[in-house]
Chains A and B, each alone.
Chain A
Amino acid sequence: MNASAPSRIAPAQVTIVVDGQERRVPADVTVAVALLGLGVRAFRTSVHGEPRAPLCGMGICYECRVDIDGVADRRACLVPVVDGLLVRTAESPE
């Protein structure tokens, strides 16, 4: 045991890649929560180009759809973050 370990254990984090950038997020959250925590506003854009973000939080509304690990239209509120996850939102520069 390291003698200089902090007395309070920091919450676990993982690294995910969001729109091409590596970001540190809590280890035990959904992708939706992680993205909201990172300040992402536009998870997807509507048919007429308006930004859309989670509404129902429970997999019903399909507004939180993002690309996860190359698969399009995954509901971010139902997917847990894991280290190395690749996420693309509507805010992606590409």
Chain B
Amino acid sequence: MTGPGRSAIVVGAGIVGAACARELARAGMAVTVLDAAFAGSGTTAAGMGHLVAMDDSPEQLALTALSVRLWHELRPTLGSSVEFDPCGTIWVAERDEHMSAVREKAEAYHEQGLACEILSPARLAALEPNLRVGLAGGMLVQGDAVLYPPGATLALLDDARAHGAIVRERSTVDEISAHAVRAGDVTMDADVIVNAAGARAAELTPGLPIVPRKGHLAITDRAPGFVRHQLVELGYLASAHQMTSESVAFNVQPRVTGQVLVGSSRELIGWDPGTNRGLLRRMLDRAVSFMPALARLSVLRTWTGFRPATPDKLPLIGRWEPVDGLWIAAGHEGLGITTSLGTARLLCDLVLGRATPFDATPFAPVRVLSSAVATQ
């Protein structure tokens, strides 16, 4: 049994761990956060920072919609270093067949209380003049936003600290056991242990079906006004679906600095962080095919990151039965920034035995257990 006044250790100070730590600390638990490097140094550091309602599945839409709402509630408390920009998302339809799917999409969003507007080609061009002529239209989701993930992570941790949490960086957790973690030769006990170690979560909890899904990003020099909304092609979900091959999708974001962030790519290549030049070029080429003027922007940097991917595209949020006291909050693929808040809310509800805002069973780690047992 857990409740206020009990202790928790969160392993991983990425945005998901930070959000969980904040939520648990606010609920009155004595929280310690451990990170092998520094806050936000893993997948969080590499991510775009898109706060997006995404409807790959009803569960995903529920979790992202809740999360976006929570981000907007949090917004007044966020300082300028979080760079919260309510720019919205435009889902771009390359061809007419994409537009026929848009109507269904808009309905699903409306059911979740998310405002959206179907865009004709003319309206799309007016909103984003640098998109090429000849696109079929799109869908604007006004409530989506963009922020700077490291800034947001630090803000969440600051709030956790304000509620008594302790953050220990450069503390590598070697082992998680029943109600305990071991970092080097130091063992710490807690009522609740949360594995929020992202792409490396399976190293601490064997059997978690989380694998690294590598992505590339590029950022340009300042070009204020070049793009005004986060732009994602409607084919993005097809790319996110491919668990085996390399794929790219058009995904471009404005940063408050005026720089343009260009993504996205996916590949399964283990942990090799090196630049895959061919895939990088495919990604940039796809982006230019939607926004030709991108070709004339100056690229300052490219980098890679590893999304924590699960086979069913849903994160693992909940108790991990095989180890007493262990809870999982990991496997968010490309939605960790957005769903960090929704994850933290669900996790805290589950830990405290409160009702969750919606059925959390689809996220329950128990769903992978039979196959996990088989692999052990």
A and B form one complex: yes
Which A residues are within 8 Å of any B CB, using their own CB?
47, 71-73
Q: B3 CB to closest chain A CB, in angstroms?
A: 48
Is the interface on chain B under 10, 10 to 19, 20 to 34, or 35 or more residues? under 10
B89 → chain A, closest Cβ, in Å? 27
Inter-chain contacts of B296 with A (CB < 8 A): 71
B321 on the A face (CB < 8 A): no
Tell whether B298 is near chain A: CB-to-CB under 8 Å: yes
In the bound assembly, the distance between CA atoms of A72 and B298 in angstroms comes to 9
Question: Is B221 in the interface zone, CB < 8 Å from A?
Answer: yes
How far, in angstroms, from A47 to B223 measured CA to CA in the complex?
A: 13
A73: B residues at CB distance < 8 A: 221, 298
Interchain residue pairs A-B with the least CB separation, the first 5: A73-B221, A73-B298, A71-B296, A47-B257, A72-B223
A47 to B80: give the CA distance in the assembly, Å.
Answer: 15
The main secondary structure of chain A at its interface with chain B is: strand
Q: Which residue of B lies closest to A74 (CB)?
A: B298
The CA of A71 and the CA of B293, in the complex, are separated in Å by: 12
Bound Cα distance from A47 to B257, whole angstroms: 9
Interfacial residues of chain B within 236-257, with CB under 8 A of chain A in the complex: 257
Q: What chain A residues lie within 8 Å of B221 (beta carbons)? A: 73
Encode B290-314 as 1/0 by CB contact (under 8 A) with A. 0000001010000000000000000
Q: Which residue of A lies closest to B296 (CB)?
A: A71
Q: List 5 A-B contacts (CB under 8 A).
A: A47-B257, A71-B296, A72-B223, A73-B221, A73-B298
A73 CA to B8 CA, complexed, in Å: 51
Interchain nearest-CB distance for B268 vs A (Å): 37
A47: B residues at CB distance < 8 A: 257
Chain A nearest CB: distance from B292 CB in Å? Answer: 16
In whole angstroms, what is the CA distance A71 to B298 when docked?
A: 10
CA distance A47 to B259 in the complex (A): 12
List residues of chain B with CB within 8 A of the CB of A72: 223
Nearest CB to that of A65 among chain B residues? Answer: B221
Docked Cα-Cα span, A71 to B223, in Å, equals 12
> In the assembled complex, which residues on chain A have CB atoms less than 8 Å from the CB atom of B257?
47
Chain A proximity mask over B209-226: 1 for CB below 8 Å, otherwise 0: 000000000000101000
How close is A68's CB to chain B, nearest CB, in angstroms? 13
For residue A71, which residues in chain B have a CB less than 8 angstroms away from its CB? 296
Least distance between A88 CB and chain B CB atoms (Å): 15
In the complex, what distance in Å separates the CA atom of A23 from the CA atom of B298?
A: 29
**Which residues in window 178-222 of B have CB below 8 A to A?**
221
- How many Å lie between the Cα of A72 and that of B220 in the bound state? 13
Tell me the complex Cα distance, A73–B220, Å. Answer: 12
A73 vs B222: C-alpha distance in the bound complex, in angstroms? 9
Q: How far is the CA of A73 from the CA of B257 in the complex (A)?
A: 15
| CB under 8 Å from chain A, chain B span 103-145 | none
Complex CA–CA separation, A72 to B221 (angstroms): 10
Task: Compute how far the CA of A73 lies from the CA of B223 in the bound complex, rounded to whole angstroms.
Answer: 10
Give the docked Cα–Cα distance between A73 and B300 (Å). 12
Q: Name which residue of chain A comes closest to B223, CB basis.
A: A72
State the Cβ distance, A3 to closest chain B Cβ, in Å.
53
